[in-house]
């Protein structure tokens, strides 16, 4: 699946709130608090393995778009079947690690469905020192660009990268592919465990189609006000 040009998306379609909590009741409370202001939610390991996979179906039935962030990385046959199963859940987006074999299998698994498969290039928590420790000789930026080109060759619908690499990724993928950027921090927010962060305004200007925001909303004293402030900055 390929998106319409990012310029046609409304801010509420581009903000993804990460439900990074450890129990379903907390997730339900957050969704109720944010109401119609937030349309897209990310469910990852933390919530997914704590009863959140059942909650995904409820979100879909309630008209929310769900980004199921599982970062699949396995042999091709398993990835292909796993992606086909995820497509059957009715979620909008999911992730795989950006290795060529995995991406080709994921593209096959999503074929004919409305599922947008995103390739995770380099985690936003990784620094240059971390990459060297892992054995990479490329910089984060160079590694992201190489993996982005491989994702396009594999037929993947979009890319997950830090906002710092969004402009370079956008130049490679063109206007109609998703560029999803985690590590978004409004001005004055703590970076936490993220190392390559940007504000919402900067990320949109750099070419991001979607922004993933977790703690700046979840930890805010008024979550609804925090979400609205981010949407206003995106606009």
Residues labelled as active-site residues = 69, 71, 74
CA atoms within 13 A on the CB side of 181: 31
Residue 196 pLDDT class (50, 70, 90 cuts): low
Show the DSSP H helices in the chain as ranges: 11-14, 24-34, 45-47, 53-61, 76-87, 100-110, 128-133, 140-154, 166-173, 200-206, 215-218, 223-234
Residue 20 pLDDT class (50, 70, 90 cuts): very high
| Statement: residue 46 has pLDDT above 80 | yes
| Statement: residue 189 has pLDDT above 80 | no
Q: Is 115 annotated as a binding residue?
A: no
Identify whether the C-beta of residue 211 lies closer than 8 Å to the C-beta of residue 181: yes
64 vs 16: CA distance, rounded Å: 11
Q: Is 77 annotated as a binding residue?
A: yes
Residue 153 pLDDT class (50, 70, 90 cuts): very high
Domain extent listing, the chain: 6-233
The hierarchical CATH code for the domain 6-233 is: 3.20.20.70
96: helix, strand or coil: strand
Q: Is 172 annotated as a binding residue?
A: no
pLDDT, one tens digit per residue, over 90-143 is 999 999 999 999 999 999 999 999 999 999 998 878 888 988 999 998 998 999
Tell how many helices (H) and how many strands (E) occur in the chain: 12, 8
């Amino acid at each position: 699946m390929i998106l319409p040009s990012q310029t046609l998306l409304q801010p509420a379609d581009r903000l993804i709130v990460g439900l990074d909590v450890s129990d379903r009741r907390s997730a339900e409370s957050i969704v109720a608090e944010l109401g119609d202001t937030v349309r897209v939610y990310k469910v990852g390991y933390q919530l997914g393995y704590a009863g959140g996979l059942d909650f995904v179906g409820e979100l879909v039935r309630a008209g929310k778009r769900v980004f199921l962030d599982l970062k699949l990385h396995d042999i091709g046959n398993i990835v292909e079947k796993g992606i086909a199963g995820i497509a059957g859940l009715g979620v909008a987006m999911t992730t795989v690690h950006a290795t060529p074999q995995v991406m080709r299998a994921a593209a096959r698994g999503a074929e004919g469905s409305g599922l947008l498969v995103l390739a995770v290039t380099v985690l936003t928590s990784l620094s240059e020192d971390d990459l060297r420790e892992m054995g990479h000789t490329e910089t984060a930026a160079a590694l992201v660009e190489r993996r982005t080109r491989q994702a396009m060759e594999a037929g993947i619908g979009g890319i997950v990268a830090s906002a710092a690499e969004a402009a370079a990724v956008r130049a490679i993928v063109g206007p109609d592919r998703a560029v999803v950027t985690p590590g978004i921090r409004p001005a004055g927010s703590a970076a936490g465990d993220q190392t390559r962060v940007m504000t919402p305004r900067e990320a949109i200007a750099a070419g991001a189609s979607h922004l993933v925001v977790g703690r700046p909303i979840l930890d805010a004293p008024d979550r609804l006000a925090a979400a609205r402030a981010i949407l206003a900055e995106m606009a």
